[in-house]
Every structure is written in C-alpha cells, then in structure tokens.
Structure 1
Amino acid sequence: MNARQAMLLLAATVLCHVTVARAFDPLRTQAAIPATSAGSIVSDPAGCVFGDPGQPLTLAEAVQRALCSNPRTREAWADVKAQAAGVGVARAAYLPTLTGNAQIVRDDSSTDVSGHPQLGSDSRSSVHSESVSLSWTLYDFGARSAALRNANALLAAAQSAQDAAIQALFVTVAKDYSAAQAAQSQLAVAGAVEQMSGRSALVAQSRVDKGIAPISDALQAKTAWGQAVLARNRAEGVWQTAQGTLAADMDLSPDRVLDLPAVAEGAHPDANFAQSVSELMGEARRTHPEVLSTQAQVDAAAAKVDQTRAQGLPTLSLVSKYLQNNQPASLGLGIPTFPATGHEWYVGVQLTIPIFEGFGRLYQVHQGEAQLERQADALEDARQHVALEVWNSYQAVRTSTAAVGDSETLLGIAEQSFAAAERRYQAGVGSVLELLNAQSGLANAKHQRVQALADWHAARLRLAGSIGKLDVVDLR
C-alpha cells in the first residue's frame, strides 16, 4: 500500500465514520422542542414571531408569547440539547477510533569521527512519514452500555425538567392572566358602582331641594359617592399593576395597554376533574414531569454505578496500524546513506486488565451508591410534594366552584334588594340609610362575583398543573 492509497483509505474511513455518527446523533431527532404535556402550545423558538397583542388578548396567546420569550424555557431547551449531545458521546464509544498522522521534515545529519575522517558522513534529505491507526473496543463487560443508559436517563430527566419548567411558567402566566382579568373586571364593577352611587346622590339631593328630606341624606349619599370614586381609583391602580405584570411575562413593556375579555360567566366543574382526589394524586405520583424527571435521575445514578464497576474490568480491543516512510538507510558507519522506503503494518487484539488502582474504583462505586440513595429519597419527596399540591388544588377547585354558585345567588338577592330600596326611597317611604346599605351590599356582591369567577379559573388551572396535564384545560 503506497501513501496515496493510505490517504484514500483514511478519507473513506473518516467519511464512513461521519455518516455513522450522523445516524447515531440524537439531536437529528430533536429538530423541534420535544412534545410536552402542555399540548400544542409549545413551538419551535424559531417560529416565535408575534405582532401586536390580540384584541382581546386570550389566555392561549398570552401563554404562547410567554413560553416563546421567557429565558427559563430557553434554558431548559438548551439543557435538553446538551444531554442529547451526551447521548451521542455515549453512542460514539461503540464506534472504532481511527487516527491518521502525516509528517514531513528536513533532515540534516553529519558525523565527524576524530582521527578517521574517512568514517565521517554528511547527508541532507527530506523525510516524510504517514500512518493510520485503528482501535476498536470489542468487549468491555458492560461499561459502554451502562454509560449509554446513564446518558439516555439524563436526557429523559432533562426533557421532563423542561416539561416541568414549561408547566410552571404556564401556571404563573395563567395566574397573572387571571389576576389581570379579575382586576379589569373589578375596575368595571367599581366604575358601575361609582355611577350607581352618583345616581343615588342626585336622587338624595333632589329630595333635599324639594324639602322632603333632611340635608343629612344628601351628605350621606355624597359620602358614599366619594367612597365609590376612591374605590374606583384604587381598582384602576390594581389593574395597571396586574396589566404590567402580565405584559412583562410576555416580554412586553409593562406600560403596554392590554385588552382582556371579561371574566367568563357560567363557571362549572370540568368533566376532566370529575375523578376522586385519590385517583388524581395517584396519577400525579406516576406521570407528573417533576416525578418523571426525578425518576430519570434515579435511573441515571443506577447506570452510573454499573458503569463505574464495569470500568474496573478487562476490555478487549481490536488494534491495527499501517506506517510508511522514506527514511534514508545506510549500511554502516562511514558509508553514505541511500534512498529507502519503509513499511510497517500490524493487526491484532489487545487485552487490558486493570490490576490495582489504589482502591479508587471501590470508593467511586461507594460514592455512586450514595448518590443513588440520595436520588431515591428525592424521588419519594417529589411524589409526596406533587400529591400534596394536587390535594390542595383539588380542594381549592371544590371551594371556588361552590363560591361561584353562592356568589351568583348573593348577587341576585343584592340586585333585588337595591331595586326595592331605591323605589322605596324615591317614593318617600324608605330611608337613605336603607338605600345606602342596599347599595353597599350590591357593590360587595358584584365584587365577590368577579373574584369568585377569577378564583375558579385560577384554581382550575392550578389543578391542571398539579396533575401535570395542562392540555386538558380549555385556553380559549
């Protein structure tokens, strides 16, 4: 085999190696963000291009904008890509290692023998050498397979952690959206109460002007009107703060004006949550992304222990090398050098047996076993945490659902009470105190109705996040 043939063999082998490596590359199957339990709300970051916020802005759009622009989701996706590359590294251990080496040197060599000039020599030549070396591990008692299991488990953990990060951000945005939606509706209610108080003040002043009511009626009604104006101003401040928080979640300027739909009427228990709380807690213990991520960490730790043990066992490898050079040759001292071409080639198997490593391997195994115990405890803690979160969220849904029905009944009664008190006062048979009490009761009932609806929506989304199934929630 000449130099040209050796180089062609090297190029062909490298091309084959690159082709096989591409087939082993897990990132080629990760062109887009992996599917998550958040459903279809996640897209490739390259496709996150938005115009102005919708009029009105829906929860689905708010979540999509936040997931595309929030650094936490991008960081989680980068972790997934890094772990996917780690899987590629572990798979590469199954492939042969091929190394090529080429060298060209200018060799000036001279020898002066004292008293025997005829034995001296002086030569100048350009020497080149080329070599190709191959090493391929054939058997290693499971070290590579354990490393691959470890890498796959870490990739699964990163993907589940990404799911958990997405769901945590989802719940945060949904909470801020509900708060902003409630603040906007509370502002509308405060404006309506202000107008209602203003009408009552005008009616009281008219009765005072006609001399059929004392001046105290007008003053009390105007006081209630002033309090309503103050409440409306406070509600506007709460709305501006909630609006700014939601805008920041979507990577918009906090002073961006948003238009949200009113809090939806007709809240009802979601059929997807009709299971018993025990079933929901059991499902969360099995399928929640936080639990899955921790379980994958346990699997990775177990594989790491196996890998550490196997690395202390013998390995059997195929080794091969081809070398050629044009090092000049000489027959002996004082004889001129002559052009020559050297060739060397060998192929064989190599057995490597670790005999003593200063007990380092033993301590590494003990360290890995301790990490495995730690991850197992973390898994149990994660299961308990998600179960408690499901329990609390489930109770919040039950409480808020009952509150929605109670607030609707209370609002109906308060509206009837205010209408009756207003008619009685205008007819001159009711007192201004009766009117203002009914007016205050109606205002409180409206605020409680809005808050009950907002709390129900927030509790429903929190429960969905607790069981790890955000795709069961209608985001319209």
Structure 2
Amino acid sequence: PNLTLSYTLWDFGLRVAKVDAARAQEWVAGFTQNQSIQGVAFSVAQAYYQLLGNQSLLLADEKTVAENRKNLEAAEVLHRAGQATIGALYQARAAMAQAQSTLAAQRQTVRSSEGLLASTLNLGPQTMLRIAPLKLGQKPPQLHSAAETLMHAALTANPALQQARAQVAVTQANVRSAEASGLPSLGVSSSYGYAFQNGYLPGDTWTVGFTLTVPLFTGFNTHYQIRQTQALRDQAQSNLAASRSSTEATVWQDFHNFQGAVAAYPGAQSGLENARKALEVVQAQYRVGQATIQDVLLAESTLAQARYTLIQNLVNSYVALAQLSQAVGMPLGENTP
C-alpha cells in the first residue's frame, strides 16, 4: 500500500484567482435571486394596488347608480306633475341604464383583478381574496428623500447593479487565473509505502520531493485564453457602466413620476368636494324647476369623473412608489393604503 500527499507551494496566484472567481460567481447567483425576488414583490404590489383601485371604482359606480336613481325618481315626480317633459324622463332613464351597465362591467373587472392578484401569489385565480379597502380620505404616501439621495442609495442597493458589479469581479478573477496558468508552479509531495517482497522482510519506504512545472509551449492556448478573458472583462465593465446609467435614469424618472402623482392629489381632492357640492345644488334646483335634467346629468357626470380621478391618483401614487422602491432596491415611503 502507498499513500501520497502533494501540495502546491507557489502558483503565482492561480489558486487564489480560482477561489475568487468561484466566490464572485456565488455573489452573482445571490444578486440574481434578489433581483427575481424584488421583481415578484413588485408584481404582487402592482396587482394589489390595481385590485384596491378597481374595488374603489366599484364603490364609486355604486354611488353613481344610487345618485342616478334619485335623479330618475325626481324626473318621474316632475313628469307626473307636468313640470318635466317626457324627453327629460327618457334622459334620466338613459343615464340610469348607463350607470348600471358601467357598474356591471366594473364588477367583472374586480373579479379579474382578484384573479390576477391570486395568480401572482401562486394561488388559483378563482381564490377569493379579502383586502382592506382603499382609504380615499388618506393622503398619498410621503417620501422625504431627494432624487440624488435615492440615486446614490441605488448604487449599493439595486440588485441588478450589484449583479453586474459581481460579474466584473468574476471576469477579473478569470483574467488573473488565465495569466497565472501560463506561469511556473512549485509543489511539494511526500509518499509513504509499505512493501512486501518474497524472501525479504516487509519494509517502509518514504519519499519527499519538490516539483517545478514550467509550461514551455501550449500552442498559444494560454495567450488566447488570456485575450478571451480580458475581452469578457471589458464587456462586463461596459455592462456595469450601462447598468449604472440605466439605474440612475430609472430612479430619476420613477421619483418624478411619484412626485407628480402626489402633487396632483390636492387638486383631485378639491375637485371631488366641489363636484359633490355642485351636484347637491343642481339637484335641489331641479326639484323646484330652476334647473334642467341636462344640468343634473352634467353635474352627476362631473362628480363621477372626479371620483375616478381621485381614486386613480391615489393608486398611481402607491404604484409609482412601489416602482421607485424596486428601482432603488429597498422599501421606501411611510404610509400604507
């Protein structure tokens, strides 16, 4: 039996370079996983806010139907009293039918949004989900960080940028490995044997030696391998620069998209309040004959549109914040819907 042990004493960094490449490749895999997780989280958030918005629009459509029902009842009373024409009655009925049609369609939109959120959560689309309603009286989420601050944070937190940076480390280690593979290496080896021979007593054998390996000619394989790894390194560095530029641009755009949605909220809220008061005034005037059914329907349409605008504004602000969080690579904001 024989036992041999060998160890490389010096290889001009070949072993270290291979270890560094393997470690950096592990980082690449980890950052890729982080990127996938954040992508799934954003998809869930987007589907969640879409469902919130559609549920709020459904409630708004129900209010519109109730208001149109009051308008129709008022038109019928005035028509029986001879104070409204049959045309006004038909207009009120048409508005009521349109509101009911919109409500029916919105119910199906909500069911579709529920299925989308359930699928995003890896559940069956038929799964019934119950979520808290959107608080229309609550202000949009707040963000106190400047765009430049978020752009700087993204340079260290964005997983796509981290992945590109780790890929550069992989290629740099591969270049060192290729360069070291063409250089000499020094190793030491030791062996032990226990020999049995006929006519002789068994004996131990020990050997210790040093090995110097010098690559003389490899058909330019080492040269080509170095050039290839250098080209891959240059490409990875170029990808890193492009990823950095893209990340900064995305954070900048998402930041201002969010700020735009937040800035539009006060106007949308004021529009809703004034539209509600305007409808109350016009309905009161219509009952005493000081306004026409066209005035009532116009005020009702304005109120419905104001509700839609406010709801969409709130939903857009939360979606924009989620998108900004994904671009930066970390959760942002204070409020929850």
Contact 1:267/1:456, CA 8 A, preserved across alignment: no
Matches of 2:157 and 2:21 in 1, distance apart? Answer: 21
Give per-residue Cα distances to partners, 1:431-471, cap 9 Å, x unaligned: 11111111111111111111111111111111111111226
Matches of 2:331 and 2:119 in 1, distance apart? Answer: 22
Secondary structure of the residue aligned to 2:324 is helix
Relative CO higher for 1 or 2, CA cutoff 8 Å, sep ≥ 6?
Answer: 2
Deviation at 1:314, TM superposition (A): 1.6
Secondary structure of the residue aligned to 2:12 is coil
Picking from 237, 249, 259, the partner of 2:130 is 259
Matches of 1:287 and 1:461 in 2, distance apart? Answer: 15
Deviation at 1:375, TM superposition (A): 0.3
- State the partner residue of 1:334: none
Matches of 2:333 and 2:239 in 1, distance apart? Answer: 28
1:48-63 aligned within 5 A: none
Picking from 157, 171, 183, the partner of 1:287 is 157
Picking from 223, 226, 240, the partner of 2:94 is 223
Residue 308 of structure 1 pairs with residue 169 of structure 2: no
Amino acid at match of 2:208: V
Amino acid at match of 2:63: A
Secondary structure of the residue aligned to 2:206 is strand
* Larger Cα-atom Rg: 1
Residue 240 of structure 1 pairs with residue 102 of structure 2: no
Q: Give the alignment's TM-score, normalised by structure 1.
A: 0.68
Deviation at 1:154, TM superposition (A): 1.7
Amino acid at match of 1:165: S
Matches of 2:103 and 2:141 in 1, distance apart? Answer: 32
1:311-326 aligned within 5 A: 311-326=181-196
- State the partner residue of 1:346: 207
- State the partner residue of 1:463: 324
Picking from 49, 70, 87, the partner of 1:199 is 70
Contact 1:461/1:473, CA 8 A, preserved across alignment: no
Contact 2:141/2:334, CA 8 A, preserved across alignment: no
Count of equivalent residues: 336
1:363-374 aligned within 5 A: 363-374=224-235
Contact 2:141/2:318, CA 8 A, preserved across alignment: no
Matches of 2:127 and 2:285 in 1, distance apart? Answer: 46
Matches of 2:55 and 2:94 in 1, distance apart? Answer: 25
Contact 2:250/2:327, CA 8 A, preserved across alignment: yes
Matches of 2:73 and 2:26 in 1, distance apart? Answer: 70
Picking from 142, 160, 168, the partner of 1:298 is 168
Contact 2:140/2:314, CA 8 A, preserved across alignment: no
Secondary structure of the residue aligned to 1:262 is coil
Deviation at 1:133, TM superposition (A): 1.4
Structure 2 unaligned runs (5+)? none
Residue 422 of structure 1 pairs with residue 294 of structure 2: no
Structure-2 change in CA distance of 1:169 and 1:342 (3 Å): same
Deviation at 1:340, TM superposition (A): 5.6
Give per-residue Cα distances to partners, 1:254-289, cap 9 Å, x unaligned: 01111222223322452xx33332333233234322
1:34-433 aligned within 5 A: 130-264=1-135, 265-268=137-140, 270=142, 273-327=143-197, 329=198, 338=199, 341=202, 343-433=204-294
Contact 2:321/2:332, CA 8 A, preserved across alignment: no
Structure-2 change in CA distance of 1:442 and 1:362 (3 Å): same
Structure-2 change in CA distance of 1:474 and 1:422 (3 Å): closer
Amino acid at match of 1:238: T
Matches of 1:204 and 1:363 in 2, distance apart? Answer: 88
Q: Percent identity, please.
A: 26
Contact 2:141/2:335, CA 8 A, preserved across alignment: no
- State the partner residue of 1:117: none
Deviation at 1:326, TM superposition (A): 3.4
Deviation at 1:429, TM superposition (A): 1.6
C-alpha RMSD of the superposition: 1.8
Structure 1 unaligned runs (5+)? 1-129, 330-337
Contact 1:167/1:470, CA 8 A, preserved across alignment: no
Deviation at 1:342, TM superposition (A): 5.2
Structure-2 change in CA distance of 1:393 and 1:365 (3 Å): same
Structure-2 change in CA distance of 1:139 and 1:456 (3 Å): same
Deviation at 1:249, TM superposition (A): 0.7
